[in-house]
Amino acid sequence: MYKTGPVVLSSTFYNWSLSSIEVSVFELPWAVLFWSETLTNKTFVVKEVIMLKQVRIIAIVLLTFIAAQAQATQSAQDYFRSASAHLRANEFAEALADYNKVIELDPTHTEALFYRLMALNNLDPLAEPIGDWDRIIELAPRYKLIWAIYLQRANYRARVGKFDGSIEDINKALEFVPNNGGAYYLRSYSYLMKGNLEVAYADYKKSVELKTIHQNALLTRGWLFKFGREFERAVADYTMALEWNPNDAIAYVDRGTTYVLMGKTDLGLADIKKGMTIDRISIVERGVEGFGCPFCELNGYVERYPLDARVYEARGILRLLQQQESEAKIEFDKSISLAPNLKSEIERVIREVRTWQ
Per-residue pLDDT, averaged over 349-355, amounts to 93
Q: What does the alpha-carbon distance between residue 259 and residue 231 come to, in Å, rounded to a whole number? A: 8
Candidate from 61-75, 101-115, 267-281, 309-323 with smallest mean pLDDT: 61-75
**pTM of structure:** 0.49
Residue of higher predicted confidence among 214 and 229: 229
Tell me what percent of the residues of the chain surpass a pLDDT of 70.
Answer: 72
Contact 316, 295 (CB under 8 A): no
Confidence of residue 118 (pLDDT cuts 50, 70, 90): confident
pLDDT at 18: 29
- pLDDT band at residue 274 using 50, 70 and 90 as cut-offs: very high
Lowest mean pLDDT among 54-68, 86-100, 116-130, 250-264: 54-68
The secondary element (H helix, E strand) that includes residue 161 is: none
Model confidence at 32: pLDDT above 90: no
Tell me which of 209-223, 233-247, 267-281, 283-297 is least confident: 283-297
Number of H helices, E strands in the chain: 17, 5
Q: Please tell me the predicted confidence (pLDDT) of residue 214.
A: 64
The answer to whether residue 86 scores a pLDDT higher than 90 is no
On the question of pLDDT at 145 being above 60, the answer is yes
Residue 219 CA to residue 213 CA, distance in Å, equals 10
The answer to whether residue 24 scores a pLDDT higher than 70 is: no
Residue 110 binned pLDDT confidence (cut-offs 50, 70, 90): confident
Average pLDDT over residues 84-110: 86
**pLDDT: is 42 or 171 the higher one?**
171
Higher-confidence residue: 88 or 8?
88
SS3 of residue 344 by DSSP = helix
pLDDT score, position 72: 47
Phi, psi at residue 47, to the nearest 5°? -95, -40
165-205 confidence digits (pLDDT tens): 999 999 999 999 898 888 898 898 899 888 888 898 899 88
With beta carbons less than 8 A apart as the criterion, state whether 234 and 258 touch.
yes
| pLDDT for the residue numbered 244 | 78
Task: Tell me which amino acid residue 332 is.
Answer: F
User: What are the structural domains of the chain?
Assistant: 244-357 (1.25.40)
| Residue 31 or 216, more confident | 216
DSSP 102-134: HHHH-TT-HHHHHHHHHHHHHH-TT---HHHHH
- pLDDT of 114 higher than 90: no
Following CA atoms 106, 108, 112, 117 in sequence, which dihedral angle do they give, to the nearest 10 degrees? 130
Question: Positive or negative, the Cα torsion across 330, 321, 238, 196?
Answer: positive
Band (120; pLDDT cuts 50, 70, 90): confident
**Least-confidence region, from 35-49, 65-79, 316-330:** 35-49
pLDDT at residue 270 tops 60: yes
pLDDT, position 45: 39
